[in-house]
């Protein structure tokens, strides 16, 4: 357990016998957390996180105020204990997710929070990230009972948490930046994103964060859809139905917000030249990538009224880190031997797209957030 003042967080890591060594290594390398290892009780059964998920939430401490659950394939930031305590103390009644994947809906919402300087965003889409997550202890026990009563083996832990929370009034938040990263171990149940699951922004060395600041709740979340439809869109999370937000085409939103499309296209062509050989692995999605990056800048500009130095905003260290994570995730299954160089070039390309979207628009125009 980790505690400070009246906050007492019991801790556990969920695992499978095939990965027990990783869970034990995590526990042993962080003795200050007092992690309890919870193992799948039926490892020969169908691959599923449901069995261990129920047990790991049942493991909430009797005198705890909150319960932290980690998956066995995570890396923690250097000052994890202090940061998670501070985050939970700032939002004691919330579900606090500590990770969002680099190319996930929530990861893009997190980039908007970085641009705004907010330490929180909200989960977007049909699941709440569970790579690392803290629940108030009463909610943890209720979630364990919900899994026991409602779940089937085909369910996924993160989708179950979203469904459970939909029936409560508990707010769900995601830390920005992330406090945990997802290590590239083989999945046991096949629940993977097309571009993998690394964090959208994970400063492993930690650093100060003001967790008392307000969350970012964007009305539009730029997003590059997964295969087979690799379109650049703006998600509308405030009008989500059944967990899946409707969307509008990114180009339409850019145009409505006053972005001069001829100038944006000219900038795209120039930036494409700078990609060089890195353009090859992403040639099928290079323009959607550009539109998604530009819409990130535009949404920030429109929703905050910010029209300052666009290049300075794109060069903030955590923003740069998040663009590099995006580029690395996109290239994870695409790039060849010189992946580091390709990642750096693609991150620079995305930064130029973001800067183009941040640039001042023509007049006081604003996109519509009505679903099409």
pLDDT along the chain (372 residues), means of 10: 95 95 97 97 89 97 98 96 98 98 97 96 96 98 98 95 95 98 73 68 92 96 85 88 83 91 93 88 93 96 76 86 96 78 95 90 62 61
Contact in structure between 318 and 198 (CB atoms under 8 Å): no
Query: Which pLDDT score is estimated for 362?
Result: 57
Report the C-alpha gap between 51 and 295 in whole angstroms. 41
Query: Which pLDDT score is estimated for 314?
Result: 82
Report the C-alpha gap between 290 and 115 in whole angstroms. 17
Domain boundaries, the chain: 2-182, 221-358
Report the C-alpha gap between 118 and 116 in whole angstroms. 6
Listing DSSP states for 170-189 in one string gives --EEEESS-SEEE--PPPSS
Helices and strands of the chain, counted as H and E runs: 12, 13
Task: Report the predicted TM-score, pTM, of the whole model to 2 decimal places.
Answer: 0.93
Contact in structure between 36 and 11 (CB atoms under 8 Å): yes
Query: Which pLDDT score is estimated for 232?
Result: 96
Report the C-alpha gap between 296 and 289 in whole angstroms. 11
Report the C-alpha gap between 277 and 349 in whole angstroms. 13
Query: Which pLDDT score is estimated for 361?
Result: 64
Query: Which pLDDT score is estimated for 206?
Result: 85
Query: Which pLDDT score is estimated for 312?
Result: 78
Report the C-alpha gap between 106 and 101 in whole angstroms. 7
Contact in structure between 192 and 248 (CB atoms under 8 Å): no
Query: Which pLDDT score is estimated for 344?
Result: 95
Could you tell me which of 347, 255, 243 has the C-alpha nearest to residue 298?
255
Report the C-alpha gap between 173 and 175 in whole angstroms. 7
Question: Class assignment of domain 2-182?
Answer: alpha beta
Which SS3 state, helix, strand or coil, does residue 102 take?
Answer: coil
Query: Which pLDDT score is estimated for 299?
Result: 95
Report the C-alpha gap between 93 and 71 in whole angstroms. 22
């Amino acid at each position: 357990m980790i505690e400070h003042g009246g906050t007492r967080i019991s801790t556990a890591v969920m695992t499978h016998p095939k990965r027990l060594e990783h869970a034990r290594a995590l526990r042993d390398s962080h003795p200050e957390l007092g992690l309890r290892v919870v193992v799948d009780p039926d490892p020969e059964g169908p691959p599923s996180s449901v069995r261990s998920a129920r047990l790991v939430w049942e493991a909430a401490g009797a005198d705890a105020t909150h319960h932290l659950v980690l998956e066995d394939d995570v890396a923690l930031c250097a000052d994890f204990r202090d940061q998670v305590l501070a985050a939970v103390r700032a939002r004691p009644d919330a579900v606090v997710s500590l990770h969002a994947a680099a190319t996930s809906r929530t990861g893009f919402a997190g980039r908007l929070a970085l641009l705004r300087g907010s330490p929180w965003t909200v989960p977007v889409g049909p699941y709440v990230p569970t790579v690392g997550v803290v629940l108030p202890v009463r909610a943890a026990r209720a979630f364990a009972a919900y899994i026991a009563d409602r779940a089937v083996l085909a369910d996924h832990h993160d989708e179950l948490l979203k469904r459970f929370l939909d029936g409560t009034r508990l707010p769900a938040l995601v830390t920005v930046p992330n406090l945990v990263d997802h290590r590239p171990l083989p999945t046991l149940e096949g629940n993977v994103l097309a571009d993998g699951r690394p964090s959208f922004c994970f400063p492993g060395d930690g650093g100060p964060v003001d967790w008392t600041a307000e969350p970012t709740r964007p009305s539009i979340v730029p997003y590059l859809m997964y295969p087979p439809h690799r379109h650049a869109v703006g998600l509308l999370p405030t009008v989500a139905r059944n967990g899946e937000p409707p969307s509008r085409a990114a180009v339409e939103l850019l145009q409505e917000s006053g972005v001069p499309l001829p100038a944006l296209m000219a900038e795209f062509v120039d930036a494409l030249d700078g990609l060089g050989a890195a353009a090859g692995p992403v040639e099928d999605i290079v323009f959607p990538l550009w539109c998604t990056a530009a819409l990130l800048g535009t949404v920030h500009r429109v929703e905050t009224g910010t029209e300052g130095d666009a290049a300075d905003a794109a060069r903030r260290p955590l923003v740069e880190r998040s663009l590099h994570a995006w580029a690395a995730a996109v290239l994870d299954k695409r790039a060849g031997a010189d992946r580091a160089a390709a990642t750096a070039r693609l991150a620079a390309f995305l930064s130029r797209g973001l800067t183009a979207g941040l640039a001042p628009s023509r007049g006081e125009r604003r996109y519509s957030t009505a679903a099409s």
